[in-house]
Structure formats: C-alpha cells, structure tokens
Structure 1
Amino acid sequence: MAGMDSLYMESVLAELQEVLPGSRISKIYQPAAAELIFKLWNRGSTWRLLLSCEPGRSRLHLVEGSYPNPPAPPRFCQLLRARLVALTDLKQLPGERIVRLSFVGANGSNYQLQAELTGRSANLILVDEQGRVVDALKRIPAEHGKAAILPGEQYQAPQPLAGQLLDNGIPEPPDGLDASALEQWLLAGVRPMSRLLARDISQQVASGRSPRQVLADFAERRRSRDNCFAIVSLEDRPQLLPFKLRALTGKDLAIFTSASAGAEAYYGEFMTSSDQHGPAGEMRGLLKKTLKKLKRRQERILGDKRALGQAADLRQQGELLLAQLHLVRSGEKSITVDNYFLQPPQPITIALDPRLTPQQNVERLFRSYKKIKRSREHIERRLIETEQELLWLEGISLSLAEAQGGEEFLAIRNELAEQGLLKGKKANVVQRGAKGVAGVRKAVSPGGFGISWGVNNRARDYVTKNLCQAADLWFHAHEMPGCHLVLKRGDRGDVPEEDQLFAASLAAGYSRGKNDGIVTVMVTEGRWVAKPKGAKPGLVTVRQFQTLRVAPLRDPGDTGARE
C-alpha cells in the first residue's frame, strides 16, 4: 500500500478548505509514533484531522472513528499543544504531497506546520515567522548535502518535482511513445499525477485516442471536480481512487461520498499499519470492550434470575409472619417462628426491618414477592437478547480474524455501523450477485461434492439463505462461533461418510475451535435451518441435528489469519 498521492490529496484539501479555516484547537494527541490528530471546533461542529507520516501510509484527512489518546503526550505533541491555538489556512504545494497548515499561537504569533507527506521521508515540521524550525516530529541531522531539520535551523523546503503543472496548460507528449513509455512520461512530466491514472491514460491512448485529447479530458475532470471516491480491486489489490477509470477494468469494492471517508476506510480497514490503530484497530478494541460489557450484563441478569428462586420463599415467609403476627414486636431485626409448610413443623428465622411495624414487615415481604414475580418475563427476555448479542459479537470477532482483503474488512465495518456500534457512515459496498458477497469460500469434497462456506455474518446468511436447499447438508461447529457451511447434494442422494467428515472438518477449521485437537460439529439438512425474523446477521435456529467429532481442517489455499 502506498501513501496518499498528490491527486487524491488535492481532493482532500478541497474538502478541508471548506470547513477547517478559522477552527480553534480543542486538543492535539498522538495515537501512534508517526500520527497526530487535531481535534478542531468550527461553526458549531467538531472535526478531527489526521496527519500521518507512517511509511507507506503518509496522508491527511478527516476521521470519524475513535483513536487512543496516550495519557502522557510525546515531545512534539506536547510542543504543539503549548504553541498552537487556531488553524487559519491549509494550502497544498501545486502537484506536491506537501501541505502547509497555518496557525495562530497563544501570543498572537504565526506558525506553519509543514506536512511533508512524501513516503519514507514524510515529516511534520513546525516553523516560526522567521522561517526557523521550532521542532519536528522526526529530527534529522544534516547529511548527504541535505539541510538539517533540527530546532533553530532555517527551514528549507524540498526541491519541487519536475514536470509541467496541469494548471499551466496541457503538455504535449513526444511522438512515437508506446503505452509503457507514455506512462513513464506522464509520471515524470505531468503534475499532479498518480501511477494508476497514468496507466489508465496510457491505455486510453493505446486504444486509439490522441494523447492530447485524453489529457485534456482528464484536466477538465480535475478542474470541474468530477470525482468518484472509490476503493477498486485491480489485479487482486485494492486501490484508492479520486476519479473513475476509463480504460482499466477493476471491481468496485466501495464508493464514498467524500475523499476523507474513502481514505479513512482504505487506510483503516486494510490492516497494514504496524501500529494497529485507526478504524481497523478500533473494530478490535470496540469488540473487546462491548463483549466485556455484555458479559457483565449477562452476569447481572443471571443474578436476577437466581433471585427469582427466592420468590416462593418470600411468599411463605409473608404467610408465616402473618399467621404468627402476635409474636412480633416493633423494632425487632428478626424473629423465629414455626414453619408449618414442613412436616413436622421446623423453626425458621425471618429477617425484619426494625423501622417498620409488624404489619408493614408482612406487606414488605409480599411486595418483594410480587415484584420478583412480575420481573420474571422481563429477565428471561433480556437474558435471551443478551445471549444472542454475545453470539453475534463473537461471530464478528471470528470474522475479523478470518478477513482477507479490504472487501471483507469493509463488510464487517458496515455491519458494525448498521448495528450502531461503529461511528461514521456506512460505505456503499458494490455487490454483483454471488460474486459481490465478500467472505464466501468454496471447495470440493473428495467425492466431488461442491462445498461453500461464509466467514463473516453477511456471507453466512448468504450461504444459508441463498445457497442451501432443503436436501443439502448444513454444517456448523457445535456451541461456538463458526462458519455456515453447505455441502451441495444435488441429485446424488446419500452423501458418503468421507465427504461428510471432510465438510465437518472444514466447518471446524473455520470456527473458534480451529486450533483445538477435536471439535464437535453439527450436521443437518437445510430444511431444518431457519433465519428467525428480526435476528441479527449470522444467527439462525436449527430444529434438529446430529453431531460429528472431527479434527479441524483449513483450505490449503486460504491465507486467512489464524488466532
């Protein structure tokens, strides 16, 4: 994955310039070694601006997700907090991956934060009014003829890139260039330009269009901001684009309404950050936190359920106390009476509230009995809801561990957003029938039976509802999160034991028990599996089943993560 290119950065800057100039700084924090987040307030809204110098992921854009805020700010972050008060302007150097952010300081002085988002050499440098370096995220001594980036040194901007700016006119490419040579000329001679769009332009020229016409068309799209922010799969690799491709053929994975939303999803969900922060890390943290909260709620509800057993005892105590009320004296903390519900009667001690009269103590016991009795239905309902939510979240956790590529991460992100657990808007994931369902895997059994399974909740629902027919065999690890797996029986009648064991082993291999020695797997016909109305994604009911005990098996060609 490469850092943000100058073309995409241009689109992000256009968005930022509409909402950020004039913002006051609420907070600055550093969630990772090479990342800063500015929390800004402007026009009644709060904005979070991310600046990242991480190699291969250097970029800037707005973010909506939550990021960790270390209790002790690192050196550079602490300096920025002390010096900067408000953001006044943002400007991108034409055709470059360098952005100058202008700030006003606490004493009215002016500062510039030079965001050099240039790949491995990316850096953030705070410069004062005299052009001197106040400090930098990465302090760099002078070497190989390059100026030092150290406090007190005069700041020297990087040398501008070669090539003609599109804002200054459309350059004329040399005659006789083939597609590869034209692509290299575009990268070296035209700014701004990205590697993927250079290839797309060269392919348009190779198909017969004139180079000048294609460049003029692209320049007009850029000028009019005819953007389409999308994550596209090309050669099995996800790519972040600010414009639609005209010649190259790729599969749209997700389309976004803003440049920042696309960048946050692309750099967050594709799991290449060594720091594991951002939206992908947020999903893991969110799941861990929510599971912990649900398990605490489950314990409380189970405690309430255990208290239901006291209802009969409270009623008995109330009746015994009422029958022997003449023995009770005001102010007593307890009384021992005969329990006539036992034969022969046995003494029983009943706790009293000394602040109440004997009659009020009787009424207290009957009130407690009725309250517990009324709450029984509510407790049972809450317990079922909590257990289903736990099953769903445990399935999401397994899905995250199994996810391969951005399309599957986006499917998980969207599911969490739909259920209200993840902040931010759901991405518009493009789907085309079966091929558009992220997370469906396929294999063939030793006897030639087709097998399909889903490794995230949407894929599980698709496999169970769309692929599984009444006579097909359906598999799932018993009493643990796992994939929904279907063995297509077709018109072949009985399925040999070898094929059933193979399918069951795959179901075990794509479950939480994938690292266990032996896993118990349910097997049933599709007719006995149903999706309850209103159930969360990935949850089904199974009316009858048999079990097989097998060793977990993974598809040899699968590169999914193992816990």
Structure 2
Amino acid sequence: MSFDGLFTRAMTKELKETLQSGRINKIHQPYKNEIIMIIRANGKNHKLLLSAHPSYARMQLTEENYENPSVPPMFCMLLRKHLEGYMIEDIHQVGLDRMIVMEVKGRNEIGDVSYKQLIIEIMGRHSNIILVDKERNMILDSIKHISPSMNTHRTVLPGHEYRQPPEQDKRNPLEATTDTILRAIDFNSGKIDKQIVQNFAGLSPLAAKEVTHLAGLANQNTIPPSFLSLMKKMKEHQYKPTFISGEKEVFYSIDLEHVKGEKQSFSTLSNLLDRYFYQKAARDRVKQQANDLERFVKNEKEKNENKIKKLELTLEDAKKADHYQLLGELLTSNLYAVERGMKSIDVINYYDEEGETITIPLNPQKTPSDNAQLYFSKYQKAKNATKVVHEQIEKAKEEIQYFDQLLQQLESASTRDIEEIREELEEEGYLKTRKKTKKKKGNEKPLLEQYTSTDGESILVGKNNKQNDYLTNRVANKNDIWLHTKDIPGSHVVIKTDQPSEQTIKEAANIAAYFSKARESSSVPVDFTEVKQVKKPKGAKPGFVIYEGQQTVYVTPDLDLIRSLKKA
C-alpha cells in the first residue's frame, strides 16, 4: 500500500498550500465513486479529484480530463447545492489516518454563514466521501451509504451524526524515540517490518520494509537510527515523489532504496499520482462495463478456433479421395468376381508395379455395382470437400483475426469506444440489436484520439473499427502518413502531413505500438506509408485494410512520451 498515513500527510500539505482560501466554482461527478472540483485559488483554476474507488481511492490535484454525464448524479447535485461558491478555510489530516478534512465556509440559501466539512476517507473498499454540517456534526450525504446492518460501529446516512472510524491506538511514529521504538518491537520474534506496521500509525508495509532495509541487519542497534532517519524526512517534509516500475509499479513520497526498478521523480505528489493511476481506474470501469462484451468476443474466437480443428480433421479425411477412387476402379474391374452378401474381396492392385493384393471392404446389403458406385461417391465427396474446407478454414481465420482485433480494442477502450464496438457487432449481425438503443444523430461522427508531436504535427488515432474506418477513409488526406503495427492487431494512426520529420514518425509509431496488442513488448515493428497506398477490400470486415509501399520502424511503447504528446 503506497497511499498510507504518511503519504496522506504529505498530500494534505500539498493541497493546503495550493487550495487554501480558494473558491469552489464547479463540481462534477464523472463516475460513480469520483468527484471533480474546479477550485479558483492563487489566481488560477485547479482541478481536484476526490476518489472513493475501492482500488484507486485518493485525493489529488489532476491534469487529466474526465467525461461528465449529461445528467449529474444526486450526490453531485447535493454537493453543488452546499459547496459551490464556498471558500476553503482549511485542509487537514485526522491524526495519521488516511482521512482528509476540507473545511469550507459560505452562505446558505437564506444568506446565513454556513460551515461544512467534506471528509475524504481513503480506506480501500471502505473509502468514502462524506459531506457534514459542521455546526450540527450531521451527515448531509455521502457517496456511499452505510446502514446499521452493514457496520455496527457507525452509520453513514443523511441525518445521522458523523462518527469517525474506530481508532487503532497506535503510536505516532513522528514522535518516536529510541526508547519507544525498542519497547514496541520484540527482536526475538522476527518479522520486524510487520511489528512496525502493527505498532505505529500511518506506516504501510512498504515504508516498514524501507526501515528494515536501511537498518541492514535489522537488530535493536540498527532499527532505531534508520526509523528515526526516515521519520525526520517525513517530519521536515523532505519529499521526493518517486514512481518505480519494476516487477510491479510502486509510488511513494520519497525514494525507496529497497524497491528495485526504473525510477522517475516528479515535482509534486499530484503529478506522481497522475502518472501512476493513468488510465488504471478508467480501464477498471470499462472492464466492468464491457465484461459481457469481452466474454462474447472471446467465446466467438474460441468457437472459430475449435471449428478450424474440426475442419482440419475433415481435411485429413478428404486426403483419402484418391484411395476411394482406386478402390472403386479396382472393384469395377473385378465385378464378375463379386457376389451380393460378400463383406470384402481381395483383388490385385494393377496400378502397383509389384502387383500386391488389396482388400476392399464391401457392404453385403448392396449389389456389386452399388458397392463400386459407393466408392466413387466417396471419392467425389472428398474431392469437393477439400475446396470447401479450405475456404471455411480461411474464413474462420479471418474471424479469429477480427475478434483478436476487437479484444485488443477492448483493452484500451473508453466508455464511448465500448458503445461503438457494441454497435459494430450489432451491425455485423453478431449481436441482436437492442430495442432501447438510443439512435445517434445522422451527423454524429466518431471522436478520434488526438495527439500533437514535438514538431507540432497533428496525430490522429482510431481506437476501434468504426474510428479506424472513419479516420483512414474519411478524415485522412491521400498524402497523409498512415501507420499500423506490422502483422499485429492495433489502431490506425495518421499523421496529418505528407512530410513528417523522422522524430514525428517515431512518435506516431510509438502511439501505434501503444494502442496495439504489443503494448507491453519492446522493439515493436510499425509500418508506415501514404494513405493512398491503403485500400479496404470489398466485403472486408470493419477496420480491415491492405497496404503497400510501406517502410518499417521499430519502437518500444513509452507511456510517458505518449502522455506528453496527449497534453501538447
């Protein structure tokens, strides 16, 4: 856990310095568990994100953009009623808990001065955002309601008294001394890092492991100095927001020596969190929304894979066509020796140089000529099947390629992209058309992802097949540069110029590689050519094209580069 009590303390300081005395101008609720506030402070607007997401709960300033629903949820409407226009008097942490309180002051509907508290509880799946009338200590509402049957300690419902989560009665690490540290830890029982977490407030396992790492041998002589050294940094706010990408991604308010991997420092904790949480929560939301769609696409792909296996078995049987022809001809030549009721006959294979004898199985219920005709029928059927089976195998492979493409698109899709993918499957006949589907306006066009290269060139990306077709066939000019990962499912990318620099091509290729199945790979081959060299075959699946005259560049997807191009 990176967002522990000490990180919360650091974040509280950052938010207080930036937002205190600011005015809350706008409030949005783009998603079920997340609130965005636009706050005017120190002569500029700041975007504050409050999240009670069970996996990504946090409070931070953000530069990311969020799509707002056309109709705001009830909790958002209530926050607007009670907080818009209010001034932020203070932002403080409750002890060393992962709880931040925003104290606000304003005037209510009748003009009286009113004091409110917006309390953000960052506690995993128990995270919450609670609006409290400070003068009465009464809950006005919360983003998650907790009934008495759900929690016996406290109720979080409108009209109830606000009570904090139960205290854990741990020591304050910022006030620790060598003596208190030695009294708290039993060095004979081992697992010192776990003892640190159990006995001191605000310390996550991540911070505790840093203490034991700095202590080396981790005994009663080395633990106190390393513990106090780390706490000195925290107490004096000596922060160095660091993102570490190794076996797994980690962030913290300072550099962690015990975590190995590529390290990246940020100027603020909020910038650090923007990088760490980039698209994580969005992908989680989309995954939930597209769960049925992903399952359907995977099932359809699997059906076609199984179909190919069965067709290949049929193809093996079809290879017996020449053998059936041979048996029919040999039987015809020896009809005089066949009598009805025989189960088999041994004849000389006159096509064989050595004249070996061959046994021909017979149907005793059929006449000799009918038996011969049966083998010729099997020959003809097997011969015809070969052509049909090859065609069906190719068609099944095209279907697999199509569903592979959709699975890749679902990986990086937004909520809007999911709806377009669903519509595509309906139009292609894979899904039944929904009766209550809201019809789009005739002039509504797919929205493309937009980036700007360091040279100032516009780069457009299609994140699903509807967008790909629209980008390549409608938006792009014939001399623009078109890019796509080589033989790998991915997005169509277009540079809106006919003479891009080598740098711009590499940046666009990086985007193409990122929005492909090879996102996590290195040295990804990306083809680029002029749009006029890209053709869509008649009757081809959505998003499918063929192209020629291409050159290939190899890139390794770089998320930081892509984020910088998105902001440009």
> What CA distance in whole angstroms lies between the structure 1 residues aligned with 2:15 and 2:211?
28
* Structure 1 residue 27: Cα displacement: 0.7
Out of 156, 161, 170, the residue aligned to residue 154 of structure 1 is: 161
> What CA distance in whole angstroms lies between the structure 2 residues aligned with 1:214 and 1:260?
27
Q: Do residues 228 (structure 1) and 227 (structure 2) align?
A: no
Give the aligned partner of residue 20 of structure 1. Answer: 19
Structure 2: stretches of 5+ with no match in the other structure? 288-411, 418-446, 451-459, 481-494, 532-539, 556-560, 563-568
> What CA distance in whole angstroms lies between the structure 2 residues aligned with 1:206 and 1:291?
50
Out of 126, 131, 146, the residue aligned to residue 121 of structure 1 is: 126
Alignment-mate amino acid for residue 211 of structure 1: I
Q: Do residues 32 (structure 1) and 44 (structure 2) align?
A: no
- With over 3 angstroms needed to count, the CA separation of the structure-2 counterparts of 1:241 and 1:301, relative to structure 1, is closer
Q: Do residues 189 (structure 1) and 190 (structure 2) align?
A: no
SS at match of 2:265: strand
> What CA distance in whole angstroms lies between the structure 1 residues aligned with 2:142 and 2:281?
27
> What CA distance in whole angstroms lies between the structure 1 residues aligned with 2:235 and 2:69?
41
- With over 3 angstroms needed to count, the CA separation of the structure-2 counterparts of 1:519 and 1:179, relative to structure 1, is farther
SS at match of 1:172: helix
The 5-angstrom pairing of residues 101-500 of structure 1 reads 101-107=102-108, 108-128=113-133, 129-143=135-149, 144-170=151-177, 171-174=180-183, 177=187, 181-207=191-217, 210-234=222-246, 236-246=247-257, 248-270=258-280, 273-276=283-286, 288=449, 290-291=460-461, 383-385=497-499, 393=508, 396-402=511-517, 439-440=521-522, 454-455=523-524
8 Å Cα contact 1:34/1:52 also seen in 2: yes
The superposition leaves residues 252-278 of structure 1 with CA deviations (integer Å, 9 ceiling, x where unpaired) of 34221111100111012556752259x
* Structure 1 residue 224: Cα displacement: 2.0
> What CA distance in whole angstroms lies between the structure 2 residues aligned with 1:521 and 1:173?
72
- With over 3 angstroms needed to count, the CA separation of the structure-2 counterparts of 1:43 and 1:518, relative to structure 1, is closer
TM-score (norm 2): 0.54
> What CA distance in whole angstroms lies between the structure 1 residues aligned with 2:188 and 2:92?
36
8 Å Cα contact 2:55/2:125 also seen in 1: yes
* Structure 1 residue 478: Cα displacement: 7.6
* Structure 1 residue 197: Cα displacement: 1.4
* Structure 1 residue 44: Cα displacement: 1.0
- With over 3 angstroms needed to count, the CA separation of the structure-2 counterparts of 1:164 and 1:95, relative to structure 1, is same
* Structure 1 residue 46: Cα displacement: 0.6
* Structure 1 residue 102: Cα displacement: 1.1
SS at match of 2:449: helix
- With over 3 angstroms needed to count, the CA separation of the structure-2 counterparts of 1:18 and 1:480, relative to structure 1, is same
SS at match of 1:134: strand
* Structure 1 residue 20: Cα displacement: 0.4
Give the aligned partner of residue 40 of structure 2. Answer: 41
Alignment-mate amino acid for residue 400 of structure 1: F
* Structure 1 residue 145: Cα displacement: 1.8
The superposition leaves residues 295-338 of structure 1 with CA deviations (integer Å, 9 ceiling, x where unpaired) of 77996885999xxxxxxxxxxxxxxxxxxxxxxxxxxxxxxxxx
Percent of residue pairs identical: 21
- Between structure 1 and structure 2, the one with the greater Rg is 2
8 Å Cα contact 1:180/1:202 also seen in 2: no
- With over 3 angstroms needed to count, the CA separation of the structure-2 counterparts of 1:283 and 1:237, relative to structure 1, is farther
TM-score (norm 1): 0.54
> What CA distance in whole angstroms lies between the structure 2 residues aligned with 1:48 and 1:61?
9
> What CA distance in whole angstroms lies between the structure 2 residues aligned with 1:301 and 1:191?
58
* Structure 1 residue 190: Cα displacement: 1.1
Give the aligned partner of residue 88 of structure 1. Answer: 89
Give the aligned partner of residue 344 of structure 1. Answer: none
8 Å Cα contact 2:479/2:498 also seen in 1: no
Give the aligned partner of residue 79 of structure 1. Answer: 78
The superposition leaves residues 468-502 of structure 1 with CA deviations (integer Å, 9 ceiling, x where unpaired) of xxxxxxxx658599xxxxxxxxxxxxxxxxxxxxx
Q: Do residues 57 (structure 1) and 56 (structure 2) align?
A: yes
Alignment-mate amino acid for residue 163 of structure 1: K
> What CA distance in whole angstroms lies between the structure 1 residues aligned with 2:4 and 2:514?
31
SS at match of 1:222: helix
SS at match of 1:8: helix
SS at match of 2:157: coil
> What CA distance in whole angstroms lies between the structure 1 residues aligned with 2:518 and 2:103?
41
* Structure 1 residue 188: Cα displacement: 0.9
8 Å Cα contact 1:478/1:520 also seen in 2: no
Give the aligned partner of residue 467 of structure 1. Answer: none
> What CA distance in whole angstroms lies between the structure 1 residues aligned with 2:189 and 2:209?
8
> What CA distance in whole angstroms lies between the structure 2 residues aligned with 1:105 and 1:218?
40
SS at match of 2:274: helix
> What CA distance in whole angstroms lies between the structure 2 residues aligned with 1:211 and 1:301?
63
> What CA distance in whole angstroms lies between the structure 2 residues aligned with 1:76 and 1:180?
48
Alignment-mate amino acid for residue 117 of structure 2: Q
* Structure 1 residue 4: Cα displacement: 2.3
- With over 3 angstroms needed to count, the CA separation of the structure-2 counterparts of 1:282 and 1:520, relative to structure 1, is closer
- With over 3 angstroms needed to count, the CA separation of the structure-2 counterparts of 1:39 and 1:478, relative to structure 1, is closer
> What CA distance in whole angstroms lies between the structure 2 residues aligned with 1:273 and 1:517?
25
SS at match of 1:173: helix
- With over 3 angstroms needed to count, the CA separation of the structure-2 counterparts of 1:398 and 1:303, relative to structure 1, is closer
8 Å Cα contact 1:3/1:57 also seen in 2: no
> What CA distance in whole angstroms lies between the structure 2 residues aligned with 1:258 and 1:403?
31
SS at match of 2:26: strand
- With over 3 angstroms needed to count, the CA separation of the structure-2 counterparts of 1:383 and 1:97, relative to structure 1, is closer
Alignment-mate amino acid for residue 165 of structure 1: N
* Structure 1 residue 225: Cα displacement: 1.8
> What CA distance in whole angstroms lies between the structure 1 residues aligned with 2:268 and 2:278?
15
Give the aligned partner of residue 444 of structure 1. Answer: none
* Structure 1 residue 173: Cα displacement: 3.2
Structure 1: stretches of 5+ with no match in the other structure? 306-380, 409-438, 441-453, 461-475, 482-512, 532-536, 539-563
Q: Do residues 10 (structure 1) and 19 (structure 2) align?
A: no
